[in-house]
Amino acid sequence: MLAAIKKEIFLRKDELQNKKLQSLYFGGGTPSILSSDEIKSLIDETLKYFSFEKDIEITLEANPDDLDKNFLKGLSDSPVNRLSIGTQSFFEEDLKLMNRAHTASEAEGSIKRAQDFGFENLSIDLIYGSPTSNLEIWKENLNKTIALEVPHISSYALTVEPKTALENWISKGKIISPKEEEQNKEFYYLSDFLKDNGFEHYEVSNFAKPGFYSRHNSAYWKYKEYLGIGPSAHSYNGFDIRSWNVANNQQYIKKLNSNLLAKEEEILSQEDQFNEMIMIGLRTIWGVDLKSLKEKFNDNILEHFQHEIRSKLEKEILTIDNDHLKIPEKHWFMADGIASDLFFV
């Protein structure tokens, strides 16, 4: 797999217009199962064809149970300077429901160990709205996060995916289904609590202390180009082409062994590009740049857009601030639904 990934980096080295990288992200699963030496080798391979900005952000997604002392020691000697830890919760019942391999004590211990090895730029994932939780437990989760001095938090409502153990338990009445009303309450408590503790709510699901925004994810949200390497990875050219690699590991390796890319691509229509810009932009504090919208899209799409936003502006569900269309934060829990109402279909 590592050899195939290195081959893909070589074959796609000319796809990015900007050869000087601002961020590098190891994610999409459990890259922390690699050894620190293997991670370093992938970084070295990348440096053969790209250069790094002086202050490049290099993130590794990690499971709490993978962050033992030996791994962190090796990682601290690598260029990796940011960890995104899949904590989910500091409560045992939540973790069991989510079928997580780590325990509540490992969730806390992994953060402290990472800090002991010099990793200050940490992000953790937290899930709210679980049937095993309530507002009081959610408050304790957030208090624990503040006490641990984590500067970035990604937080999502628990969703029930088809054909999962969670869906099966709910259908059999073993646990109750997540309630949107409770999730709404916990979302707004989360936002107010973190802002009171010095965080900025810069994307619907993301909160950061000043200077700790995720540079990598912010590039997605600002519609910049990116290159995704490895099975299932997605790429975007910054204009009208999106591509994705096959998900199957064996197919991926077989293709690369034959010096062939294991990817498919689509050309985004004007309608697709418009819908994506609306969906992504309205989830952020930056909003949708109206000047860019007017330059990019045809009159038919713009007329539809003006028509659809009129009533929402009157009801203050949408606002215009410095020529940017935004959703006021009090409506952010419903951001995706509000954005979809504006789609050109």
SS (H, E, C) the chain: CHHHHHHHHHHCCCCCCCCEEEEEEECCCCHHHCCHHHHHHHHHHHHCCCEEEEEEEEEEEECHHHCCHHHHHHHHCCCCCEEEEEEECCCHHHHHHCCCCCCHHHHHHHHHHHHHCCCCCEEEEEEECCCCCCHHHHHHHHHHHHHCCCCEEEEEECCCCCCCHHHHHHHCCCCCCCCHHHHHHHHHHHHHHHHHCCCEEEECCEEECCCCCCHHHHHHHCCCCECCCCCCCEEECCCCEEEEECCCHHHHHHHHHCCCCCEEEEECCHHHHHHHHHHHHCCECCCEEHHHHHHHCCHHHHHHHHHHHHHHHHCCCCEEECCEEECCHHHHHHHHHHHHCCCCC
**pLDDT at residue 160 in the model:** 74
Domains identified in the chain and CATH numbers: 18-221 (3.30.750.200), 270-341 (no CATH)
**pLDDT at residue 135 in the model:** 94
**pLDDT at residue 162 in the model:** 80
**pLDDT at residue 166 in the model:** 67
Percentage of the chain with pLDDT > 90?
Answer: 86
CA distance 153 to 193: 12
Distances (CA, A) of 309 to 38, 137, 243, 338: 50, 38, 31, 10
**pLDDT at residue 282 in the model:** 97
Cβ atoms within 10 Å, residue 290: 16
**pLDDT at residue 293 in the model:** 94
CA distance 50 to 141: 40
Q: What is the pLDDT of residues 271-324, one digit of tens each?
A: 999 999 999 999 999 999 999 999 999 999 999 999 999 999 999 999 999 999
CA distance 241 to 245: 14
- pLDDT tens digits, the chain, 345 residues: what are they? 999 999 999 999 999 999 999 999 999 878 999 999 999 999 999 999 999 999 999 999 999 999 999 999 999 999 999 999 999 999 998 888 888 888 899 999 999 999 999 999 999 999 999 888 899 999 999 999 999 999 999 999 988 778 777 677 777 777 777 788 899 999 999 999 999 999 999 999 999 999 999 999 999 999 899 999 999 999 999 989 999 999 999 999 999 999 999 999 999 999 999 999 999 999 999 999 999 999 999 999 999 999 999 999 999 999 999 999 999 999 999 999 999 999 998
Determine how β-strand 152-157 pairs with β-strand 206-208.
Answer: antiparallel
Answer whether 67's CB lies under 8 Å from 110's CB.
Answer: yes
**Within 13 Å and on the Cβ side, how many CA atoms surround 199?**
24
**pLDDT at residue 97 in the model:** 82
Place of tokens 């211990």: 109
Q: How many residues does the chain have?
A: 345
**pLDDT at residue 225 in the model:** 95
**pLDDT at residue 99 in the model:** 80
Answer whether 99's CB lies under 8 Å from 69's CB.
Answer: no
Record the tokens describing residue 135, joined without a space.
């507002």
**pLDDT at residue 152 in the model:** 98
Sign of CA dihedral 180, 181, 185, 188: positive
CA distance 187 to 201: 11
| pTM for the model | 0.92
